Structure 1
Amino acid sequence: MPTPEYHARKSPSSAHRWIHCPASIKLSEGIPTTTSPYAEAGRLAHSIAELKARKRFMVLNKRTFNAQLKKLQEDEHYAAEMDGYTDLYVETLEQHAMAFHSAPFIALETSVPVGIFTQELKEDGTPATGTADCIQIAEGVLWITDYKNGAGVPVDADYNPQMMTYALGALAMYALVYGDSIQTIRLTIVQPALHSVSDWEISRAELEEWGREVLTPAAVQADREDPGEPFPGDWCRFCPLKNQCRERANKVLAVEAFGKKLPPLLSDAEVGQALQRAEGLVAWYKDLQDYALQSCLEGKQITGFKAVEGRSSRAWDDLDAAFADIQQHGVAEAILWERKPVTVAALEKALGKKTFIEAAGGHVTVSPGKPTLVSESDKRPGFNAAAQAFNPIN
């Protein structure tokens, strides 16, 4: 995926955050952007996905494709599972194209003018842009598909602000060609690492109403001299202010006062309330630790804490030479090595999903997962112990 020339302050990818917390835009000004191995792996996977999609839908000869793919696979962030992941993405695009009676118009990695709705301009005065992975248009339908490489956070297409902002930008971009003929918007998020393809549909009228009533007002609020107080929530996860935000700290540290005159034991309703109040405590504490450690390493003073050298680790300087010397002292070679089977997940990651299924798929059994507690908003069905007891394992 090509690196965008301009990264919008109110970007579609962070819309979930700044729509709920407009103050985060102004407060985060001047904070340098950071990256991570996960982000770099995501960018690489996007590039592979784009290359495969261009080979499928555009003019790209086999020799050029193989050369470009080989170059991408030599990247330090490449992992074999990316091949299977990106294959699923292209297969999904093919299914979308075949859903139309005639071949749709297709655009890949396209910059769309989201700044029309987020009230943001580039330095040249043109609207800020966001990059949509794939746009398909035919028969009055605008279909946008997005690839997510990560496995840490499940992402749904339902009322997804990033995808809805892309759709608004695409409608504006192609208005001269299609006018008002597009009346249906379909949004899809492909997240292969979680075996997820999330689809959602909304009418053009509803999407444009959301833009007028939700997106643009939040953008205007974010640009005000006083955008209001920060408003913490699950959107804090990727906020650059999450380590220092006072409002987030206040929310996490707040303790529900149940009163002394009430029964000594919490009711089930009160347990639920307490869980909701403390939901972000662990994540917030870890973010605070990361910030404090980095500050100490930079020479700053964090009251009551300091950075120290962690537990040392030992390793062989030359494994072959070390083992040779050890065997000369009468130690048997069998003692020096451990033999254990590779796990299903590790082998699938090493081989790639497609090769793994072909070679070993018939030898894998799936056991039901251990029950876990989640919020009611989670889309998975509730655990039914009675039904599970009579459910055979395949």
Structure 2
Amino acid sequence: MSAHARLSPSACDRWSTCTASVALIDKLQAGGELVDRDASEWSAEGTVAHEVREMCLDFGLDPQHFVGATISADGFTYVVDDEMAEHLQPGIDWVREHTGNPHVEIRVDLSPWLPGQFGTCDTGWVEYWPGFFNALYVSDLKYGVGVPVDAVGTKQLRLYALGIWHWLGRPPVEKVVLNIDQPRAGGMKYWEISLEDLLAFGEEMKVVYAKIVSGDVEFKPSSKACRWCEVRKAPGGCPPRDRWLMEMAADACADLPNTVIPGYERQNLVGERRWLVVQHAPDIRARLAELHEESLRAALDGNPDPGSKAVAGDLGDRYFKDAKKAEALLVQALGEKAFKPKQIIGITEIEKLVKPGKRKQGHPETWEQLLTLVDRASGKPKLVDENHLKPALTPLADEFDDLD
């Protein structure tokens, strides 16, 4: 679908939170100040994955039927391989476990909640259990690997659910199951809510829409709201976001508990303040990197920021301009000493070459033996939001509290 809604489900995290961004984007688009987002190899790969999934669900095929097929998307050409087929199969199997007639790539009308707005639902259906209950399902493929997306709390899928429920004639359902199929970043993820909760969310969206239309809006930066916002790439970026990021470590939330260090006028970063900064450190680092590139570009263009200038950097790593000729000279002089010791390929590459598949023989016996030798290091502890699905780690001493 080439058309895009002004308040699209995919951008709901932005416009429903930072309501002032809608009019600003309209203004920047009208003035030609927004940078067009060129399609990338990765977005094209995602488009191909969606097309394969759609054809499988529409025509009763499996992804393996498309291995070796060449599909073009967004100006790129992609050859479907075993890896993509294996990634797509579990999600397709899950859909088929619940329905034999899914509705795929359906344009849904969101006008009852967001007048004039629409979206495209990847997959939706109603599962009927005569005498028991009916359930509405929405499944959304996200083939990207860079940004894991959680199903719990997802606004995008709730909008799709409202749209497909309306498109299906508003059937009576007991529950709504939202599924994110992200095979390369967490696999299958689910969130189950009631129809009552879904409709309550729809009422919240009505309120947001009314505020946007009336002009009762505010700039409210957040990680989710800003991640894909076009204003970030506009000349000068987004001032509210810059203030939010740069003031965060400079006592941005004076109402939170803090510790004052005697003899210092500043407040120490502890507790909630420290977590606030740590939580948004990736955003801060990314913005600092953007500012560095913008400042360097200005200097190279002959308009340096006051107090700065661009100079030649340190020389890069050395390399051979003619690698084959260099290799011949080294072999002549050093023989086998010209080469490093042999090293086996990585496990990911081994899996591609050795693991058997529906359309590749592989090396089944070798693969089974290799699996007995594979191990994985324990993951290092990491900080996440307190609402994260994984249980919190407990201090080692706590593990022995119940022992005599």
TM more than 0.5: yes
SS of aligned partner of 2:60: helix
2:225 to 223, 231, 235: 235
User: Which residue pairs with 1:135 in the alignment?
Assistant: 124
Residues in 2 aligned to 1:148 and 1:228: alpha-carbon distance in whole angstroms: 30
Q: Could you tell which deviates more after superposition, 41-50 or 154-163?
A: 41-50
Question: Hey, what's the Cα distance between the residues in 1 that align with 2:71 and 2:212?
Answer: 38
8 Å Cα contact 2:137/2:176 also seen in 1: yes
Residue 284 of structure 1 aligns with which residue?
284
Identify which range, 46-55 or 252-261, moves more after superposition.
252-261
Distance 1:223 1:39 in 2: 32
Answer yes or no: is the 8 Å Cα contact 2:52–2:66 preserved in 1: no
| Local SS of the residue matching 1:381 | coil
How much does 1:157 deviate? 1.9
Inter-partner Cα distance in structure 2 for 1:352 and 1:154: 26
Distance 1:385 1:345 in 2: 34
Q: Answer with 74-83 or 336-345: which moved more.
A: 74-83
Structure 1 residues 261-340: aligned runs within 5 Å: 270-290=270-290, 293-294=293-294, 297=297, 299=301, 301-305=304-308, 311-328=315-332, 330-340=333-343
CA distance in 2 between counterparts of 1:188 and 1:303 reads: 51
CA distance in 2, matches of 1:285, 1:7: 31
Gaps of 5+ in 1: 98-102, 122-127
1:375 alignment partner AA: D
Match of 2:60 among 56, 61, 65: 56
1:383 is matched by which residue type in structure 2?
L
Tell me, in whole angstroms, the C-alpha distance in 2 between the residues paired with 1:289 and 1:180: 50
Q: 1:274 to 1:224 in 2, by over 3 A?
A: same
* Alpha-carbon distance in structure 1 between the residues aligned to 2:216 and 2:324: 65
Distance 1:233 1:284, change over 3 A: same
2:183 corresponds to 1:192: yes
Q: What TM-score do the two structures reach when normalised by structure 1?
A: 0.77
**Conserved? CA contact 1:82–1:352, under 8 Å:** no
Could you give the per-residue CA deviations for residues 175-213 of structure 1, whole angstroms, max 9, x where no partner exists? 1xxx4434432111111113431122222232112101x
Q: Can you give the 5+ residue segments of structure 2 that lack an aligned partner in the other structure? A: 129-133
Task: Verify the 8 A CA contact 1:143 1:185 in the aligned structure 2.
Answer: yes
Match of residue 32, structure 1, among 35, 47, 56: 35
**Counterparts in 2 of 1:253 and 1:294: CA distance versus 1, 3 Å:** closer
* Structure with the larger RCO, 1 or 2 (CA within 8 Å, 6+ apart): 1
Aligned length: 363
Give the Cα separation in 2 of the matches to 1:336 and 1:261. 59
Query: Paired residue for 1:168, among 150, 162, 169?
Result: 162
Where 1:88 maps in the other structure, the secondary structure is helix
Percent identity of equivalent pairs: 23
1:368 matched to which residue of 2? 378
* Counterparts in 2 of 1:26 and 1:334: CA distance versus 1, 3 Å: farther
137-146 or 330-339, which deviates more:
330-339
Q: Which residue of 107, 113, 118 maps to 2:109?
A: 113
In 1, Cα distance between the equivalents of 2:311 and 2:269?
44
Whose helix proportion is higher, 1 or 2?
A: 1
Please give the alpha-carbon distance, in whole angstroms, between the structure 1 residues aligned to 2:23 and 2:355. 43
User: What amino acid sits opposite 2:10 in the alignment?
Assistant: S
* Residues 253 and 281 in structure 1, CA contact (< 8 A), matched pair in contact too: no
Shift of 1:6: 0.5
Q: Is the 8 A contact 2:108 2:160 kept in 1?
A: yes
1:23/1:211 Cα in 2 relative to 1: closer, same or farther (>3 Å)? same
218, 221, 227: which one aligns with 2:211: 221
Per the TM alignment, residue 388 of structure 1 is displaced from its structure 2 partner at its CA by 12
Deviation per residue, 1:219-240 (Å, 9 max, x gap): 3323444633334344322222
Query: Cα RMSD over matched residues?
Result: 3.8
Spell out, residue by residue over 1:264-283, the C-alpha distance to the aligned partner (whole angstroms, 9 max, x if none): 8x999933322214532442
Partner AA of 1:172 in structure 2: H
Summarize the Cα distance change of 1:282–1:106 in structure 2 as closer, same or farther, 3 Å threshold.
closer
Distance 1:305 1:50, change over 3 A: farther
- 1:42 lines up with 2:46 in the alignment: yes
Q: What TM-score, normalized by structure 2, do the two folds share?
A: 0.75
The alpha carbon displacement at 1:317 in A equals: 4.4
Moved more, 373-382 or 45-54: 45-54
Decide whether the 8 Å contact of 1:81 with 1:353 is kept in 2: no
Contact 1:189 1:199 (8 Å CA) reproduced: yes
CA distance in structure 2 between the aligned counterparts of 1:113 and 1:241, rounded to whole angstroms: 27
Answering whether residue 172 of structure 2 is matched by residue 181 of structure 1, we say yes
